[in-house]
Structure 1
Amino acid sequence: MNAIMGSGILGLSYAMASTGIMGFSILLLIVASLASYSVFLLLSMCTQTAVTSYEDLGLFAFGSPGKVLVATTIIIQNIGAMSSYLLIVKSELPGAVAGFLSGDAESGSWYLDGRLLLLITSVCIVFPLALLPKIGFLGYTSSLSFFFMVYFALVIVIKKWSIPCPLPLNSAIENLQISNSTGECKAKLFHLSKESAYAIPTMAFSFLCHTSVLPIYCELQSPSKSRMQNVTVTGIGLSFLIYFISALFGYLTFYDKVDSELLQGYSRYLPHDTVIMTVKIAILFAVILTVPLIHFPARKAVLMVFFSHLPVSWICHILVTLTLNTIVVLFAMYVPDIKNVFGVVGSTTSTCLLFVYPGLFYLKLSREDLLSPQKLGACALVVFGICVGLLSLILIIFNWINQ
């Protein structure tokens, strides 16, 4: 569940606003079910081949090109994930600082500049932690992130009744100048627009845990595919529940005015609310400590693709970490909207790791008959992943061109 739940939870209310409550529910259920099924395929292949990583599965199925392809996909996916986390730091940390300073903060102050705060956080916290050769102690602190997500969902439910609808025309709730349009307060069951293209990529981004499943499974003292599958189904099911509750109540708070990053709406309408402040701090804490953890598989994949012929050295370790950190910070600084990260990364690398690769590898490695239920399911997974990924990416690019 720690591997599943991350920055995606902040984008799902926007996805619901883009598809409607029923449309979102059906799509989220489909993505969650397919994510669980693709984990089942990965575990089946793990027992057949005794591999310990996603990259090695690619090597076993398609040789060196398969290994390089999977490693490259993981690099791009993790850069996107780290960028989305740091985008949250850039957008929410200034508001958190301003909230603590209440009325004493000056609008042009350096400590309210999101990009500068992002740079300071990355240099002083993320980079030193990512440099560590072993980062096991962060595994304990990262377990807090799940409880922060539960807390986040509970606060979203509670605060639904703190913001009036129609929304105030200005940002401060204290000045109760309310918009006259009551039509803004009607939830849509089904909705289709150009923004709907971001829905499934955001969901795929939100349910991706597949790069962690094999290492976890292979490190168990007595691994059992059936018990691990039960754990996976339970984890994905509980994550689905938390995702759905937070998305639903976030949407029912702001309706069509919901931001692509949910917390921004609360920052606008409840700028000094104590509970919202604690949620921001909790999310920021979870995000900052999770970024170094994501560095590790990304760096491992980079070393595997580009430097496998070189001996392990601290110089290489530091340079790769610095390069990855620099790329991620630049993306987070200059990407204007978190939905763009969810959209592009979700429609390409997330759909590959979630749907396409597990299905392809199973079709290649399994000795079952081609018309067996598992192989037919794997084939459907590949077709779904390719169709959804390509369609979403084309619509997102078309949307950018027309902006």
Structure 2
Amino acid sequence: MQSVANVSVLAMFFMYLLTAVFGYLTFFGNVEPEMLHTYSKVDPLDRLILCVRLAVLMAVTLTVPVVLFPDFSWVRHVSIAICLLFVVNLLVIFVPNIRDIFGVIGATSAPSLIFILPSIFYLRIVPREKEPLRSRPKIQAACFAALGFIFMVMSLGFIVADWVTTGRSSGGGH
């Protein structure tokens, strides 16, 4: 599974690299923050752009189950992939700006990966016989997890406040 995950991540890296290089070579300094919006100004076929968006989001989504589940089970992998694809399809249809999606994902995943998950893993992995819950390292780990949760809530609050002030909370505007 590690080899599959490595190949998958490497393939996604090259896909994004090619997208960035050819997007820049096509539009040079006129590339917008969302390159698909740049193409939609040139190409009147909005359905084609929607299909490209869907393909990119599906590619990103399909790498998640491969990387996250080294104890591989086809039933679990396929069911989680189908659920993720369903959510991604809803996001593609209802969210006009991918910046909002990346903002929410970044606000939730960064604190989880940096603060919350390592702290929780430490609390769960180190046995109570070796270190009781009231020991200094475990208290510090719990505080670290709480700090990460606070960062996540604050980041999501700033994103929602931005949506409310700019009128993008219900999928309107760019």
Counterpart of 1:294? 64
Counterpart of 1:370? 136
TM-score by length of 2: 0.53
Larger radius of gyration: 1
- Identify which of structures 1 and 2 has the higher relative contact order when contacts are C-alpha pairs closer than 8 Å and 6+ apart: 1
- Note if 1:144 corresponds to 2:15: no
Residue pairs, 1:145-294, within 5 angstroms: 145-152=12-19, 162-163=28-29, 258-259=32-33, 261=34, 263-264=35-36, 266-267=38-39, 271=42, 288-294=58-64
CA RMSD of aligned residues (A): 4.8
For 1:337 and 1:290, the matched residues in 2 are separated by 16
For 1:155 and 1:384, the matched residues in 2 are separated by 41
For 1:349 and 1:288, the matched residues in 2 are separated by 19
Q: Is this contact kept in 2: 1:352–1:385, CA < 8 A?
A: yes
For 2:77 and 2:54, the matched residues in 1 are separated by 27
For 1:391 and 1:400, the matched residues in 2 are separated by 14
Counterpart of 1:386? 149
Counterpart of 2:47? none
Q: Identity of counterpart residues, as a percentage? A: 20
Question: What is the count of residue pairs matched by the alignment?
Answer: 148
Distance 1:325 1:381, change over 3 A: same
Counterpart of 1:339? 99
CA-to-aligned-CA distance 1:112-168 (integer Å, 9 cap, x gap): xxxxxxxxxxxxxxxxxxxxxx9x778646523223344455567x65x933xxx7x
Q: What one-letter code is carried by the residue in structure 1 that aligns with 2:14?
A: F
Q: Residue 358 of structure 1: CA displacement?
A: 0.7
For 2:159 and 2:152, the matched residues in 1 are separated by 11
For 2:5 and 2:112, the matched residues in 1 are separated by 28
Distance 1:398 1:375, change over 3 A: same
Which secondary structure state, in structure 2, belongs to the residue aligned with residue 162 of structure 1? helix
Residue pairs, 1:20-31, within 5 angstroms: none
Q: Residue 294 of structure 1: CA displacement?
A: 2.3
For 2:125 and 2:117, the matched residues in 1 are separated by 12
Q: Which runs of 5 or more structure 1 residues have no equivalent in the other structure?
A: 1-133, 168-253, 273-280, 301-311
